[in-house]
Amino acid sequence: MSDLTQHTLLELQSQLQSGAISSVELTSTFLARIERLNPTLNAFITVTESQALAQAQAADAARAAGTAGPLTGLPIAHKDLFCTDGVLTSCASKMLSNFVAPYDAHVVRACQEAGMVMLGKLNMDEFAMGSSNENSFYGPVKNPWDLKRVPGGSSGGSAAAVAASMTPIATGTDTGGSIRQPAAFTGTSGLKPTYGRVSRFGMVAYASSLDQGGLIGKSAADLALGLGVIAGHDPRDSTSADQPVPDYTATLTDSIQGLKIGLPDAFFDERLDARMQARMEAVMDAYRALGAELVPVKLPHVAEAIPAYYVIAPAEASANLSRFDGVRYGHRADSPADLTDLYERSRGEGFSSEVKRRILIGTYALSEGYFDAYYKKAQQIRRLIQQDFTHAFTECDLLLSPTTPSTAFQIGAKSDDPVAMYLEDIYTVATNLAGLPGGCFPSGLVDGLPTGYQLTGPAFSEARLLNAAHQLQQTTDWHLATPEEITHV
């Protein structure tokens, strides 16, 4: 039997349903690979071995009893900002390094109810703030393609774990590109659904109007299978969309003949590395060969997306993170002299420099005298960007663009230059500001490192987006490339 860890989620589903393998066998195989590779990659913060094996045994019993569902017994791992009942939920921060969640996030509960097996909790940039997964209390995650490079962030642990075949699929979150950029850097497929498509209940907040839970997997088909589990209305989340959930796998094989794919002029400029441009040309040629029509479109205000995002997101973070004060839960400073000392030292000790930087930026933008000049103006720009996308989708069905301006950079290369780090998100943040679905899918290698292309669609067009990505993956082998760096670890 071939190495089970190298199979897609769909392939593993088929083997479980046929009885070729058991869930316990499958889970044990992945746990053994995690034990071997995680000391090098640092993708997992917590491995829930005993819990995973118990869930696998229950899955096998359900299958024997004829009560198993389509995903029963399939492994998954969760980004460590989804609350998990009885398991550490740290957000990769010292502030929550002792926090054991007393309940499950909606996403976690949905996966459990589907019979999936949780392998553990994944490393990330602290409180989802970062583009490299270097901002973690537990240390940086390493890219399986090159251990000296970052895997992207903030869902870097999720992307690295899937790329290294430590889990067939993983949850992530995307506030400004934090699923799509790591997917591009690691040669995986990642999906940020429409804002409100996946409940944020139990997902520790960074920027509430931008955060969205999603998935990283080996293929578009795997994402379609997983999205059907985690999507849906949740009355516990006031921003959850009360929209029916389609069978995302049902339309994967539909022809894309005549599909109109827009090419935004603002995303193909001098900031894009020439070799990345060449990979985008290859993607365009592949879509033309499938019968899609590529048309130029304009997004005149997306150039302002980065400055608008880095006002709005820190402002919301300033409000959301005010709850971590050392009083009720999380890190608490020793022997505080008074309440002010408790607040100051607990937050000073518990938060890293990047989190503090964003809290300060956000607090400043919301302060009296600056609210109109910064936060209000950023929200006005956001509205213009939303209108740009609305107009663009009158001319096309989907938008095609790069995901990142270059391949994964080396660990430490941008640590001392926050602005350079923020500019890693130039092609992704506009999608979040508009609340639209966006996906990143492999587009081949440059100098032995993965690249990814991005598809963006109108609200709730995930089925069409995944269909377009799946069709391309049927005629190319870019998504089948695996990293050689870890084979000798």
Run of H or E residues at 398: strand 398-402
182-223 pLDDT, tens digit per residue, is 999 999 999 999 999 999 999 999 999 999 999 999 999 999
* Entry pTM: 0.96
**Cis omega (within 30 of 0) for bond into 154:** yes
Q: Let me know: does 489 contact 146? Beta carbons within 8 Å.
A: no
Give 370 or 392, the one with higher predicted confidence.
392
Specify the CATH number for 9-256; select among 3.30.465.10, 3.90.1300.10, 3.30.70.20, 3.30.1650.10. Answer: 3.90.1300.10
CA distances from 38 to 34, 53, 145 (A): 5, 18, 14
Does position 489 have pLDDT exceeding 90, yes or no?
Answer: no
What is the percentage of the chain residues whose pLDDT exceeds 90? Answer: 94
413-430 pLDDT, tens digit per residue, is 998 888 889 888 999 999
Does position 79 have pLDDT exceeding 50, yes or no?
Answer: yes
- Residue 293's Cβ-count burial label (10 Å; 0-12, 13-18, 19+) is middle
Tell me the pLDDT band of 1, cut-offs 50, 70 and 90. Answer: very low
Q: Let me know: does 20 contact 235? Beta carbons within 8 Å.
A: no
Please list, in sequence order, all residues whose beta carbon lies within 8 angstroms of the beta carbon of residue 382, skipping any fewer than 6 positions away: 308, 312, 433, 434
What is the percentage of the chain residues whose pLDDT exceeds 70? Answer: 99
**CA–CA gap between residue 129 and residue 155 (Å, rounded):** 10
Torsion of the alpha carbons at 130, 136, 142 and 144, rounded to the nearest 10: -80
Write the secondary structure of 98-128 as one string of H (helix), E (strand) and C (coil).
CCECCCCCHHHHHHHHCCCEEEEEECCCHHH
Tell me the pLDDT band of 337, cut-offs 50, 70 and 90. Answer: very high
Among 12-21, 264-273, 423-432, the range scoring the smallest mean pLDDT is 264-273
Please list, in sequence order, all residues whose beta carbon lies within 8 angstroms of the beta carbon of residue 389, skipping any fewer than 6 positions away: 299, 399, 430, 434, 436, 456, 458
435-457 pLDDT, tens digit per residue, is 999 999 999 999 999 999 999 99
What positions carry a catalytic annotation? 79, 154, 178
* Other beta carbons less than 10 A from residue 65's beta carbon: 8
pLDDT at 485: 63
Q: What is the mean pLDDT of residues 363-381?
A: 94
**CA–CA gap between residue 271 and residue 403 (Å, rounded):** 12
Please list, in sequence order, all residues whose beta carbon lies within 8 angstroms of the beta carbon of residue 401, skipping any fewer than 6 positions away: 263, 264, 267, 268, 280, 427, 453, 454, 456
* Other beta carbons less than 10 A from residue 336's beta carbon: 15
Q: Is 487 helix (H, G, I), strand (E, B) or coil?
A: coil
Strand partners, 441: 453
Q: Which two tokens stand for residue 95?
A: 């502030």
Residue in 300, 298, 271 with CA at minimum distance from that of residue 425: 271
**CA–CA gap between residue 239 and residue 216 (Å, rounded):** 23
Amino acid at 31: L
Amino acid at 392: A
Residue appearing with tokens 């060449």: 278
**CA–CA gap between residue 244 and residue 223 (Å, rounded):** 18
Radius of gyration of the chain (CA): 21
List b or e across 302-320, with b for residues whose CB sees 16 or more CB atoms inside 10 angstroms: bebbbebbbbbbbbbbbbb
Residue in 13, 77, 37, 12 with CA at minimum distance from that of residue 215: 77
**CA–CA gap between residue 205 and residue 316 (Å, rounded):** 9
As a 3-state breakdown, the chain gives helix, strand, coil percent values, each rounded to 5, of: 45, 15, 40
Q: What is the mean pLDDT of residues 147-173?
A: 98
Q: Give backbone dihedrals phi and psi of 273, rounded to 5 degrees, phi first.
A: -55, 140
Domain boundaries, the chain: 9-256
Q: Let me know: does 142 contact 160? Beta carbons within 8 Å.
A: yes
pLDDT at 181: 98
**CA–CA gap between residue 219 and residue 138 (Å, rounded):** 29
Does position 15 have pLDDT exceeding 60, yes or no?
Answer: yes
Does position 487 have pLDDT exceeding 70, yes or no?
Answer: no
Largest CA distance in the chain: 70
User: With left for phi above 0 and alpha for psi between -120 and 50, is residue 258 left, alpha or beta?
Assistant: left
Concatenated DSSP letters of 202-248: TB--SSTTT--EEEEESSHHHHHHHHHHHBS--TTSTT--------T
99-131 pLDDT, tens digit per residue, is 999 999 999 999 999 999 999 999 999 999 999
User: Average per-residue pLDDT in the chain?
Assistant: 96
282-335 pLDDT, tens digit per residue, is 999 999 999 999 999 999 999 999 999 999 999 999 999 999 999 988 999 999
